[in-house]
Structure 1
Amino acid sequence: MIRSELVAAVAETHPHLSAREAERVVGTIFESIIDALADGRRVELRGFGAFSTRARDSRTGRNPRTGEAVHVDAKRVPHFKAGKDLRERLNR
């Protein structure tokens, strides 16, 4: 599912919302999740899962084309852990 399909599903499920309003709702949810993760907070959606960040240390990588060693800076990456209800529905 892509973002536009999600917006269409929200608009279809809630007929009192226009497509533009449904797009704003979906955008607001995504922006809230992104802002919380950027601030170092965890986002938990009960039954669905939890978003958090993980720290990656700096390391020496390789350029696949030349094989040359390349320095890769430390960074934070997003992490998702599926909730119990989601795991159960996937494994029925």
Structure 2
Amino acid sequence: MNKAELIDALASKAKMQKLEAKKLLDAYIQVVTEQMSKNEEIALIGFGTLTPRAQTERLARNPKTGTPVMIPPRTTVKFKPGKYLLEAMNKKKKG
């Protein structure tokens, strides 16, 4: 699903105009980005938790040439799915 499809789905589920759904999604993305840049965790109970995670400097290899390359330290995001999301994803289909 891409952003446009997500906007369509949000508008349909929330019974709102697509423009309103786009504004809502853009605002959500902006808030998450701001909080992650401040190293703040975002917990959506039942859905999951977004946690900033520091990665240390590490050695890797260039896949084309095979030469070693140092990857500088950086911050990334870890997503831990919540109970209800996992249950919905692993629900056995009857039939």
Q: 1:18 offset after TM fit, Å?
A: 2.2
Secondary structure at the counterpart of residue 60 of structure 1? strand
- Report sequence identity in percent: 30
Structure 1: gaps of 5 or more residues: none
Cα distance between partner residues in 1 of 2:60 and 2:33 = 28
C-alpha distance in structure 2 between counterparts of 1:67 and 1:14, whole Å: 50
Aligned CA-pair RMSD:
1.2
Gaps (5+ residues) in structure 2? none
Q: What per-residue deviation string (whole Å, max 9, x for no partner) do you get for residues 41-65 of structure 1?
A: 0001111000011111101211111
1:89 aligns with 2:88: yes
- Give TM-score scaled by structure 1 length: 0.89
The residue that corresponds to 2:75 in the other structure is 76
Q: Which residue of 2 aligns with 1:14?
A: 14
TM-score with structure 2 setting the length: 0.86
Aligned residues: 91
| Deviating more after overlay: 74-83 vs 6-15 | 6-15
Equivalents in 1 of 2:89, 2:18: separation in Å? 29
